[in-house]
Amino acid sequence: MPISEKKLRSNPAWIKRHINDPFVKQSVKDGYRARSAYKLIELDDKDKIIKPGMKVVDLGAAPGSWSQVVKQRLTNPKTGEVEGRIIAMDILEMEPIEGVNFLQGDFREQDVADALEELLEGEKVDVVLSDMAANLSGVAVADAARCLLLNELALDFAKENLKPNGTFVCKVFQGSGFSQYVEVCKKTFRKVVVRKPEASRTTSAEVYLLCRILK
Ligand SMILES: C[S@@+](CC[C@H](N)C(=O)[O-])C[C@H]1O[C@@H](n2cnc3c(N)ncnc32)[C@H](O)[C@@H]1O
């Protein structure tokens, strides 16, 4: 179960580890907004998820490092043009990224779903990414339930918005309900694999499910 972000960030040990983290240092050099960029880079290098011409939704996108990576991966190396579409969604504000449409709001709300539909003009997308994390209360049982519910709703969102051969990437915390969630994903998609990128801390229970081709 993840510890609340707020609690972590006020902890001197966390601050020290953050400053010394090689992925944090690298992200500053590379101009990424967060170290989590390297998780998506590793996933995409290995599994070739994002290609120029695709439409991609980035759920829980702020501060925006995954959207930065998606933009790079949609760039045609020959022309330097971004080919495709990126729609980033988050409850929080996000600094704009040129070429990325940002929808602020809770993806579970109808008005946000309507705004997305309008942006996509009713079309489906190739990839749904979810690096979302629920706001945690510190009460373990309640927090586990919140994370699971968020994952289930992200899966519903993916089913609703993906093309039949689309890909869903979802951050999941190993723990209560994890194996059941993997089973539901396996019933929904033809191929489901669990990935733990190097940039994902070994102390964190998070893993990423890579789900391909809707059944
Ligand atoms: C770990 S951060 C994502 C980091 C991002 N992938 C990056 O690389 O910059 C998780 C985000 O999920 C967002 N989030 C959580 N629940 C959400 C919801 N119901 N709808 C939209 N965004 C949500 C949070 O606001 C937070 O910004």
Q: Tell me, what's the pLDDT at 208?
A: 97
**Of 90, 153, 172, best ligand 1 pocket probe by most atoms within 8 Å of the beta carbon:** 90
CATH value at residue 60: 3.40.50.150
Q: Tell me, what's the pLDDT at 136?
A: 77
Q: Tell me, what's the pLDDT at 4?
A: 57
Residue whose entry in the numeric block shows the structure tokens 């971004």: 82
Residue range of the domain that includes 87: 5-214
Is 146 a pocket residue for ligand 1 (Cβ < 6 Å)?
A: no
How many independent structural domains does the chain possess? 1
DSSP annotation of 3 reads: P
Q: What is the mean pLDDT of each run of 10 residues along the chain (215 residues)?
A: 58 79 95 98 98 97 98 94 97 97 97 96 96 83 86 97 98 92 98 97 92 96
Residue 7 known to be catalytic: no
Is 60 a pocket residue for ligand 1 (Cβ < 6 Å)?
A: yes
Q: Tell me, what's the pLDDT at 139?
A: 78
Q: Tell me, what's the pLDDT at 20?
A: 86
CA–centroid distance, 53 to ligand 1, in Å, is 25
Reduced to 3 states (helix: H, G, I; strand: E, B; else coil), residue 52 is coil
Please tell me the distance from the alpha carbon of residue 191 to that of residue 193, in angstroms, as a whole number.
Answer: 7
CA–centroid distance, 59 to ligand 1, in Å, is 7
The model scores a pTM over 0.85: yes
